Amino acid sequence: MCCNARMATTDPNQVFELRPSLKRLRAPNPGLMTGSGTNTYIVGHEAAIVIDPGPAIARHVEAIERNAPTRIEWIVVTHTHLDHSPAAKLLAERTGAGVAGPSVPLDGRQDRTFEPDRILRDGETVTVAGTELTAIATPGHASNHLCYWLAAERELFTGDHINEGSTVVINPPDGDMTAYLDSLAQLDSLGRCRLLPGHGEPIEDSTAAIRTLIEHRLAREAKVVANLPAERKITIDELLTSVYADVAEALHNVAARSLLAHLLKLERDGKANRQDDRWGRV
């Protein structure tokens, strides 16, 4: 789930060959929260790994199977939001592939059908002939979020931790702004690589993108602090109009969730406090 100002501009189910042994399919689920649709990746040549099979839409699952250059050995997911993992079950049933990914958290709108054969944790790998993916724990957008590092190609499959063309929603309590920023810093330490996001186009320069994202979040945080009164407390709705004046009103409901995530981080940092659902500056 992301917060997307840019709607679908390309045909759903379009197949993109990003390089030999790497294809991207776009699921036919465009929308306000999914942009032009969820990206599904097929990587490998002697055997394939599918990353984020997407929502349980039969024609998308058929398209994945049809476009796999060889047998699909593993299906891995970055997290269990409903636009990323539900097709895993259908695709596994059709292909006999194993399913790997994180365990499902209790909080939030999660895919309860997701039952991995392998639970993946930080640093663990999924390997098929000639292709090795390493899971990197990146909590923040979702507490169970994993990115996948393809070291041989210096490519990182970012799921919803980093999207292109949209700002990722941080929805507490499963979403956590402190963890999100820490995870971004951790990904920056990989050095410059190519990012392959869950929504949007590939990002060639990870270093520039990650630093821009961190700056964007910290600028928003500074705006929250600047608009929090010290002498009284105000509601999130009151704060929203001043802090997110640049965001379309249709997105204010989701912006309110990210605003809460900022406030919870500021509370942890000792810069904001609250009384019931009203917030003030310390």
Smallest distance, Zn ion to C-beta of residue 130, A: 30
Cβ at position 168, least distance to Zn ion in Å: 8
The verdict on 174 binding Zn ion (CB under 5 A) reads no
Residue linked to tokens 């991207």? 24
Stretch that binds Zn ion, among 5-13, 81-89, 124-132, 199-207 (CB under 5 A): 81-89
Candidate segments 13-21, 80-88, 211-219, 259-267, binder of Zn ion by CB under 5 A: 80-88
Q: Between residues 168 and 266, which has the closer beta carbon with respect to Zn ion?
A: 168
CB of 273 to Zn ion, least distance (A): 30
| Cα distance between residue 242 and residue 234, in whole Å | 12
CA separation for the pair 99, 109 (Å, rounded): 20
Burial 1-29 (b: 16+ CB within 10 A, else e): bbbbeeebeeebbeeeebeebbbbbbbbb
CA 77 from chain centre, in angstroms, equals 11
- β-pairing, 125-128 vs 131-137, is antiparallel
Single residue of 1, 50, 88, 196 touching Zn ion by CB under 5 A: 1
Report the residue from 81, 161, 199, 220 that binds Zn ion according to the rule CB under 5 A: 81
Q: Which stretch binds Zn ion (CB under 5 A): 21-29, 77-85, 118-126, 182-190?
A: 77-85
27 contacts Zn ion (rule: CB under 5 A) = no
Number of residues that bind Zn ion (CB under 5 A): 3
Q: What does DSSP say about strands 278-281 and 272-275: parallel, antiparallel, or unpaired? A: antiparallel
Q: Contact at 8 Å (CB) between 240 and 279?
A: no
Q: Judged by CB, which is closer to Zn ion: 31, or 229? A: 31
Residue among 160 and 221 whose Cβ is closer to Zn ion: 160
CB 234 within 8 A of CB 280: yes
Among 111, 160, 164, 174, binds Zn ion (CB under 5 A): 160
At 99, list the tokens.
């399913």
The binding track of 209-238 with respect to Zn ion, each residue x by CB under 5 A or -, is: ------------------------------
**Counting runs of H as helices and runs of E as strands, what totals does the chain give?**
6, 17
Residue 199 interacting with Zn ion (CB under 5 A): no
Q: Which residues bind Zn ion (CB under 5 A)?
A: 1, 81, 160
